[in-house]
Amino acid sequence: MKLAFSTLGVPGLPLPEVVRLAADHGYQGVELRAHPEEPVHLGLSSLKRADVVEAFKAAGVEILTVAGYVQVAAEGDDEAVSAELAKLLKLARDLGARYVRVFPGGGDQDPADADATAARRLGSAAPAAADMGVTILLETHDSHRAGADVARIAGTVGHPRVGAIWDVLHTWLAGEDPTATHAILAPHLGYVQVKDVASPTDLTPLPLGTGTLPLAACLELLDPDTWVCWEYEKRWHPDAADLPGLLSAGREHLLRLGAPKG
């Protein structure tokens, strides 16, 4: 198991500090939130992009993902969505990231219409992603919480550069059993996002292992080389405990859960 954490847990933290946290606490990678309020965003200059690459390379930490906010199933014209996705792909290429994260964002549309829109846009972007060596991953989220929802879209696209992120919180909220989620997402799976919360009505982030999410049931299904990313949503819950003090214990907990049984 390879471990990463998301910069959603350390909002606005300068990148040298992000790199130091990963290296000091034994995380092999980082999921970089791409947003104007963060050090990494779509307007980052070529020089700054090179600086980011060098900082991570020097520490031996991988940039796993550029986590964008494109909503590929959203209603409206394709042009704006496709343009933003193209910028995300270029940013990921320049940073040497494996993946770009996108959301469904289908809202209250008919599911078939949302699926078709997402598949069309992702299919259109897939050749460019392949040329850049980047894979687009659709996260189990919002209108498409279940693995079955995301697998419908990825399966329709049918391109190796379009896959899925399994966010265990959202598949749990959808009522989907981890075994079913893994079985349907396995052909498309890029990596798994883990977190912990108290209940479906209290999503304040908790230290891993202190909440109710079925993390053991999820992790025991994974291949040993699968990336697992801790998405601690401090950005949306400012009163939650600070992530840096939790990273070492979180790493040890994930390694215990992912250790071979028997």
The CATH code of the domain that includes 236 is 3.20.20.150
pLDDT in tens, 200-238: 999 999 999 999 999 999 999 999 999 999 999 999 999
Amino acid at 131: D
Show contacts of 106-109: CB within 8 Å, 24+ apart. 106/71, 106/73, 106/74, 106/142, 106/143, 106/144, 107/73, 107/74, 107/75, 107/143, 109/73, 109/75, 109/143
Residue 125: partners with Cβ closer than 8 Å, 6 or more residues away: 82, 85, 86, 89, 136
Residue 87 pLDDT: 98
Alpha-carbon torsion 234, 69, 54, 165, what sign?
positive
Angle at 81 between CA 10 and CA 126, to 5 degrees: 90
The domain in which residue 227 lies consists of 2-258
CB 6 within 8 A of CB 231: yes
CB 166 within 8 A of CB 193: yes
Q: Give pLDDT < 70 ranges for the chain.
A: 260-262
* CA–CA dist 149, 199 (Å, integer): 23
Residue 6 pLDDT: 98
Residue 26 pLDDT: 97
For 177-238, what is the HEC assignment?
CHHHHHHHHHHHEEEEEECCCCECCECCCCCCCCCCCCHHHHHCCCCCCCEEEECCCHHHCC
Q: pTM for this structure? A: 0.97
Residue 256: is it exposed, middle or buried by C-beta count within 10 angstroms (0-12/13-18/19+)?
A: exposed
Residue 261 pLDDT: 62
Tally the C-alpha atoms within 13 A of residue 35's C-alpha that lie toward its C-beta: 16
Domain count within the chain? 1
CB 169 within 8 A of CB 140: no
Other Cβ atoms within 10 Å of 260 Cβ, number: 6
Q: Quote the distance between the C-alpha of residue 253 and its chain's center.
A: 20
Three-state DSSP at 52 gives helix
Residue 132 pLDDT: 98
Q: Quote the distance between the C-alpha of residue 73 and its chain's center.
A: 17
